[in-house]
Amino acid sequence: MGDPARQLTVDTPPAAPTTHQALLAWVEEVRQLTQPDDVVWVDGSEAENRRLTDGLVASGTFIRLNPETFPNSFAAFSDPKDVARVEEQTFICSADEREAGFTNNWMDPVEMKAKLTGLFTGAMRGRTMYVIPFVMGHLDAEDPKFGVEITDSAYVVTSMRIMATIGTAVLDRMTELDAAFVPALHSLGAPLAAGEADVPWPCNEEKWIVHFPEERSIWSYGSGYGGNALLGKKCYALRIASVMARDEGWLAEHMLILKLTSPQDKTYYLSAAFPSACGKTNLALLDPTIDGWKVETLGDDITWMRFGKEGELRAVNPEAGLFGVAPGTGWHTNPNAMRAIAKGNSVFTNVALTDDGGVWWEGMTEEVPAHLMDWQGRDWTPDMDHTAAHPNARFCTPIDQIDMLAEEFNRPDGVELSAILFGGRRKTTVPLVTQSRDWANGIFMGSTLSSETTAAAAGEVGRVRRDPMAMLPFMGYDAGDYLKHWLTLSAAADQARLPKIFLVNWFRRTASGGFAWPGFGDNARVLKWVIERLEGTADAVETPIGFVPTGESLDLTGLDMTPAEVEAAVHVDREEWDVELASIEEWYARFGDSLPDALQAELDALKERMSAH
Ligand SMILES: Nc1nc2c(ncn2[C@@H]2O[C@H](COP(=O)(O)OP(=O)(O)OP(=O)(O)O)[C@@H](O)[C@H]2O)c(=O)[nH]1
Ligand SMILES: O=C([O-])CC(=O)C(=O)O
Ligand SMILES: [Mn+2]
């Protein structure tokens, strides 16, 4: 109360820094509904960020890391019940239930609005309401995709500042264009009574992550965690954007983008869709173990794609930061990510802390520190039977801290893709790599993509589920219509320039239980085979599901692995595939009449090839 700066904001509410009428009206409507103590228009500046992070340190949400080893970096520890996306509580509220499709939770939008209006009433009492203007993709794109997130979480503001382009420049451009924007409303659902002390990670037991696709709006309640609360990311750039993309003729996908340069100095751009916590960030930042091949990064999680004027498929990354899985990211598996993190300016969530004010997680270093503070604030020693970091602990780091960021990252029109990889986490059945027979067959591969569930979403871990194009939790509309959109969009493209589609599985196990493939930097060997297939120079074996490498066609130079072991890693086992085909049939049956005929035909043809195998 005695703080003169605070007194000033209470007495003289700052004038809104925009004349955008629709935005002003929405902000006022939300202010009246949620009843915050004050309203702050986020400008995105360094000074503002310093004020916010100082405040978060003072309130106990952030622990400032050792500035010598992790400059301008902070650790946050969530409520143990708020550690991942909540798919059960994520809704697509289209007017018509059919539009949401069988993969989404649905509720009537009028009913949902009424419910949320109740929950948001007074939800920001005792807190500050932040207004964050942001753009996904380039501010100078042909048709910039604006959004405004209103949130009562300063953690969300500092994280959004890393993950998206936010602040004054965005707001000015939005105002100048009188542009449409996606209103994205977020509240922790933890109002404070007068004089009530705050907790380090306010949230609510009850969580609702809700999308209104026709209105292109988002309401998120009760969670402070990344995918639920940083609304530019999954909620906008995937769920809402997938609906925009359907209507406007493009694609919003859960994909990384990388640039690959061969020893002959030829460049290729690849994208890859793997479900959450299945290796996108690691592949995007790959450090090749074979000589002469170079990887540069364009994106690690979300890709927007459209067919260009010449019928080529172009891709951009709409994000500005990495929100990466910490465990398993280490100096020996992903040195490029580690170097980016070490530059600082990062927010870590649910990692462990070292005694000298640094961070640690399982897999960061081979040597395990003798003592840590675990993600729940308890003393931790290596003999304990729980992990020090939460399995879905995350680092949030500006993407331009990656040394290997490709210069094309800054191109508003993106890059032309040569290949698309679909991949999942499967212990058995699915070969290390398979080239599809053609584009439609590749879409079939994507549509039947499967993976064992991970800690990135709340719920059981390790259960095999179908995850079309790794978009199961992110399609903003009917899954059958989504697959149809892939098929119809590409029908008009230059067929000769369509990217080649491959299915990969870094996670296959051997009979003795170990990984059948070393993965990480050695995945460059698979990328090399992919490129050589595009160039027509690598051998392959035709199997019922597609083309797999011969034992000799994968470059094993310097690797302690034999061609016979490669053959085992790409083996198509008839018995396993009989089970798989039955499971795919069950999956396709769930689409009902919304399954595209072309994909049913792919399944029928695969069954026939398999029965002759
Ligand atoms: N065995 C093996 N594990 C891998 C490989 N690539 C990634 N992983 C592990 O998979 C986990 C998740 O990897 P990420 O690259 O962060 O996954 P992601 O797809 O970017 O995840 P989201 O950010 O949730 O979308 C980490 O624990 C990695 O160590 C690989 O090639 N082989
Ligand atoms: O959205 C999140 O919380 C993290 C993420 O990238 C994913 O789960 O795919
Ligand atoms: Mn992701």
Residue 243, domain CATH? 3.40.449.10
Specify the ligand 2 atom closest to the Cα of 474.
9
Q: Is 301 in the pocket of ligand 2 (CB under 6 A)?
A: yes
Question: Ligand 1 pocket: which of 225, 281, 295, 349 to mutate (most atoms <8 Å of CB)?
Answer: 281
Hey, whose CA ends up nearest to atom 3 of ligand 2?
227
65 falls within a domain: no
The rounded percent of the chain whose pLDDT value lies above 90 is: 97
Asked if residue 225 and residue 352 are part of one domain, the reply reads no
Task: Please check the confidence at residue 12 and state whether its pLDDT lies above 80.
Answer: no
Asked if residue 444 and residue 364 are part of one domain, the reply reads no
pLDDT digits (tens, 9 = 90+) for 206-215: 999 999 999 9
71 falls within a domain: no
pLDDT digits (tens, 9 = 90+) for 372-402: 999 999 999 999 999 999 999 999 999 999 9
Give the model's pLDDT for residue 574: 95
Does 234 show up as a binding residue in the annotation? yes
- What is the side-by-side strand order in the sheet with 372-373? 359-360, 352-354, 372-373, 379-380
Give the model's pLDDT for residue 465: 96
Report helix angle 154-163 to 46-58, nearest 10: 140
Q: Is 454 in the pocket of ligand 2 (CB under 6 A)?
A: no
The rounded percent of the chain whose pLDDT value lies above 70 is: 98
Confidence label for 4 from pLDDT (cuts 50, 70 and 90): very low
Task: Please check the confidence at residue 9 and state whether its pLDDT lies above 90.
Answer: no
Burial class (CB in 10 A: 0-12, 13-18, 19+), 278: buried
ipTM greater than cut 0.95: yes
Does 339 show up as a binding residue in the annotation? no
Asked if residue 143 and residue 212 are part of one domain, the reply reads yes
Give the model's pLDDT for residue 7: 46
Give the model's pLDDT for residue 141: 93
Task: Please check the confidence at residue 10 and state whether its pLDDT lies above 80.
Answer: no
Asked if residue 258 and residue 234 are part of one domain, the reply reads no
Asked if residue 164 and residue 26 are part of one domain, the reply reads yes
In 263-380, DSSP assigns E strands to 267-273, 294-299, 303-307, 313-316, 321-325, 347-349, 352-354, 359-360, 372-373, 379-380
CATH number for the domain that contains residue 375: 2.170.8.10
Q: Which residue, 249, 264, 290, sits at the end of a domain?
A: 249
DSSP structure string for 148-162: EEEES-HHHHHHHHH
70 falls within a domain: no
308 falls within a domain: yes
Report helix angle 479-491 to 241-248, nearest 10: 40
Ligand 3 centre from 58 Cα, in Å? Answer: 31
CB contact burial 538-553 (16+ within 10 A = b; e otherwise): bebeebbbbbbbbbeb
Q: What is the mean pLDDT of residues 308-337?
A: 97
Does 198 show up as a binding residue in the annotation? no
Number of structural domains found in the chain: 3
Asked if residue 423 and residue 385 are part of one domain, the reply reads no
pLDDT digits (tens, 9 = 90+) for 35-52: 999 999 999 999 999 999
Asked if residue 505 and residue 452 are part of one domain, the reply reads yes
Asked if residue 550 and residue 464 are part of one domain, the reply reads yes
Give the model's pLDDT for residue 14: 64
pLDDT digits (tens, 9 = 90+) for 64-74: 999 999 999 99
Asked if residue 165 and residue 238 are part of one domain, the reply reads yes
- H or E element, residue 466: strand 464-466
Specify the ligand 2 atom closest to the Cα of 84.
3
Give the model's pLDDT for residue 484: 98
Q: What is the mean pLDDT of residues 565-574?
A: 98
74 falls within a domain: no
Hey, whose CA ends up nearest to atom 2 of ligand 2?
227
Does 607 show up as a binding residue in the annotation? no
Give the model's pLDDT for residue 1: 38
Under 8 Å between Cβ of 570 and 546: no
Task: Please check the confidence at residue 2 and state whether its pLDDT lies above 60.
Answer: no
Q: Which ligand is nearest to the CA of 272?
A: 1
pLDDT digits (tens, 9 = 90+) for 109-161: 999 999 999 999 999 999 999 999 999 999 999 999 999 999 999 999 999 99
Give the model's pLDDT for residue 176: 97
Q: Give every CB contact of residue 56 below 8 A, 6+ residues apart in sequence.
A: 62, 74, 76, 154, 155, 158
Under 8 Å between Cβ of 413 and 298: no
312 falls within a domain: yes
Relative to beta strand 208-212, strand 90-92 is parallel
Hey, whose CA ends up nearest to atom 7 of ligand 2?
276
Confidence label for 613 from pLDDT (cuts 50, 70 and 90): confident
- 525 backbone dihedrals φ, ψ, rounded to 5°: -65, -35
Asked if residue 519 and residue 393 are part of one domain, the reply reads no
Q: Is 239 in the pocket of ligand 2 (CB under 6 A)?
A: no
Q: What is the mean pLDDT of residues 347-369?
A: 98
Does 226 show up as a binding residue in the annotation? yes
Q: Is 226 in the pocket of ligand 2 (CB under 6 A)?
A: yes
Q: Which residue, 231, 249, 267, sits at the end of a domain?
A: 249
Q: Is 325 in the pocket of ligand 1 (CB under 6 A)?
A: yes
pLDDT digits (tens, 9 = 90+) for 479-537: 999 999 999 999 989 999 999 999 999 999 999 999 999 999 999 999 999 999 999 99
Domain assignment of residue 288, given as a range: 252-319+407-611
Ligand 2 centre from 475 Cα, in Å? Answer: 14
Question: Ligand 1 pocket: which of 163, 234, 325, 329 to mutate (most atoms <8 Å of CB)?
Answer: 325
Give the model's pLDDT for residue 15: 83
585 falls within a domain: yes
Ligand 2 centre from 551 Cα, in Å? Answer: 35
Task: Please check the confidence at residue 192 and state whether its pLDDT lies above 60.
Answer: yes
CATH number for the domain that contains residue 411: 3.90.228.20
Catalytic residues: 278
Q: Is 277 in the pocket of ligand 1 (CB under 6 A)?
A: yes
Q: Which ligand is nearest to the CA of 519?
A: 1
Give the model's pLDDT for residue 323: 98
Q: Which residue, 249, 264, 283, sits at the end of a domain?
A: 249
Q: Is 299 in the pocket of ligand 1 (CB under 6 A)?
A: no
Mean pLDDT, rounded, of the chain: 96
Asked if residue 263 and residue 183 are part of one domain, the reply reads no
Confidence label for 596 from pLDDT (cuts 50, 70 and 90): very high
Asked if residue 337 and residue 197 are part of one domain, the reply reads no
Closest C-alpha among 59, 522, 456 to residue 233 = 456
69 falls within a domain: no
Ligand 2 centre from 227 Cα, in Å? Answer: 5
Give the model's pLDDT for residue 215: 98
Q: Is 280 in the pocket of ligand 2 (CB under 6 A)?
A: no
